[in-house]
Structure 1
């Protein structure tokens, strides 16, 4: 089935125009990275009605929804996207509220904020809100954008726990079901900044069919047709491909012991590089060999 919507997953700390916190009017025009090349600008450009798109900010994952929602509204407003509002769903019964469901049906973009991805899936998973979200993504010109927890929860399988320092000890990484917008991948966020590569290594060695995606901060992937990925933002995307693993001790060791892996393939993408989930081919936009 061809996916009609677009998926934009971001590793956290997306540039929301933090330069605007002081000297608002004087400094706003100076940040060209935000106004011309930032991730939020790309979200708007990819959306159905551009600056006029209806954008709903979903703050369910956050413990400070009353703070984080207005930050996104302000940032999007600086990009001339003023048709925005916040939906804060804190309880499962709210995910069946007719007014909230109608707002979702009318949205061109939903932007899921950071926070706790387990909170996000436990509140929204299996609700009418979730059903409508999946239907819109699969069948409409619609964007699911998620940062940090909102990105981690987008895949069918989701990492929800696991320390960076002990992530290559068997059993330290915990996985559950995500929101199911994309199969055959698993997503980790704040990836470079928090040294989380071991979490993806353990995840992928346990099921080498799954491609591990590690997103740096203010960095993301634009995924179209559910298969074609383009790196966006200012940092790095790390892909962990386990299909060619030759050996591991995973099933021979006890819980808490170190994992060995032979021949694990990694790719590093930066802005505009692409990766095809069907062919597993990476294309470097500014290759030195072209």
Structure 2
């Protein structure tokens, strides 16, 4: 399938500036690097109509939607995007309302905030909103952007629970279906700071066809054509490739027992590095061998 849209998935804690401060302009110099090269600026750049793009901020995953939504609106507007609003969907029946569906149809960008990815999928999954979202991503010059929960929910397989410290005990990582925009990957967020690599190890060893993607904070991936990935932001992206796993005790141990895995392949990406989901080849932007 030739995917027309773009995915921008972000690990969380996007450095959008300290917009809770009343002195916005006074504090802006602290964030100049972000404003020039940061992830939200990249979202605007990748959108169909740039600063004139229609952007809808979707707060469904958040427990404080009325607080977090306006912060993103301020951030986008500070970066030059004026056509931004918050789309609150807090109940499943709202995802079938004509007004909300019309706003989605008119959007060039949707920005899913953080929160609880299970809340996001349980409210939106299988609704007319979800169907239009997937259709726009597949068939239009459209950007799906998601941070934290919004990133984790983008794939077909979604991690929704699992202790970082006990992630390599059988059964500790819980996986369900996500929104289904991209297949054959599983995404984890707040990855480096919260030590979640074990969660990806267990997710991947259970089905080595799936590529594990671990997104650090203020770090993301731009995915074009559904296959080409570029690391963006200030931190790291960890990829876990299980296709060459040689052995594991996964099916032999009881629930709660440690899992052994022989020969997992990992890649570490930083800003502007690329990875091809068809060839599984990584290109380092500033390689010492070029």
Task: Answer whether TM exceeds 0.5 for this pair.
Answer: yes
| CA apart distance, 1:25 | 1.9
The whole-number CA distance in structure 2 between the counterparts of 1:200 and 1:102 is 37
| CA apart distance, 1:18 | 1.7
1:51 matched to 2:48: no
- Shift of the 95–19 alpha-carbon distance from structure 1 to 2, 3 Å rule, reads closer
The whole-number CA distance in structure 2 between the counterparts of 1:120 and 1:13 is 18
Paired residue for 1:249?
A: 249
Contact 2:18/2:24 (CA < 8 Å) preserved in 1? no
Contact 1:20/1:27 (CA < 8 Å) preserved in 2? no
For 1:51-94, what per-residue CA distance to the aligned partner results, in whole angstroms no more than 9, with x for missing partners? 00000000000000000000000000110101000011011100
The whole-number CA distance in structure 2 between the counterparts of 1:149 and 1:234 is 19
Q: What is the number of equivalent residue pairs in this alignment?
A: 290
Paired residue for 1:124?
A: 124
Q: Secondary structure at the match of 2:126?
A: coil
The whole-number CA distance in structure 1 between the counterparts of 2:30 and 2:249 is 53
| CA apart distance, 1:188 | 0.1
Which piece of structure 1 moves more, 47-56 or 25-34?
A: 25-34
The whole-number CA distance in structure 2 between the counterparts of 1:155 and 1:238 is 16
Gaps of 5+ in 2: none
- Shift of the 98–5 alpha-carbon distance from structure 1 to 2, 3 Å rule, reads same
1:3 matched to 2:3: yes
| CA apart distance, 1:20 | 6.7
Q: Aligned-pair RMSD on alpha carbons?
A: 0.9
Paired residue for 2:26?
A: 26
Contact 1:173/1:202 (CA < 8 Å) preserved in 2? yes
Which piece of structure 1 moves more, 113-122 or 27-36?
A: 27-36
Paired residue for 1:12?
A: 12
Paired residue for 2:137?
A: 137
- Shift of the 115–30 alpha-carbon distance from structure 1 to 2, 3 Å rule, reads closer
Q: Secondary structure at the match of 1:230?
A: strand
Contact 1:19/1:31 (CA < 8 Å) preserved in 2? no
| CA apart distance, 1:124 | 0.2
- Shift of the 137–284 alpha-carbon distance from structure 1 to 2, 3 Å rule, reads same
Which piece of structure 1 moves more, 24-33 or 131-140?
A: 24-33
Paired residue for 1:61?
A: 61
- Shift of the 111–19 alpha-carbon distance from structure 1 to 2, 3 Å rule, reads closer
Q: Secondary structure at the match of 1:104?
A: helix
| CA apart distance, 1:27 | 2.9
The whole-number CA distance in structure 2 between the counterparts of 1:234 and 1:97 is 39
TM-score, normalising length: structure 1:
0.99
The whole-number CA distance in structure 1 between the counterparts of 2:5 and 2:41 is 18
Gaps of 5+ in 1: none
The whole-number CA distance in structure 2 between the counterparts of 1:30 and 1:119 is 34
Paired residue for 1:182?
A: 182
Contact 2:56/2:85 (CA < 8 Å) preserved in 1? yes
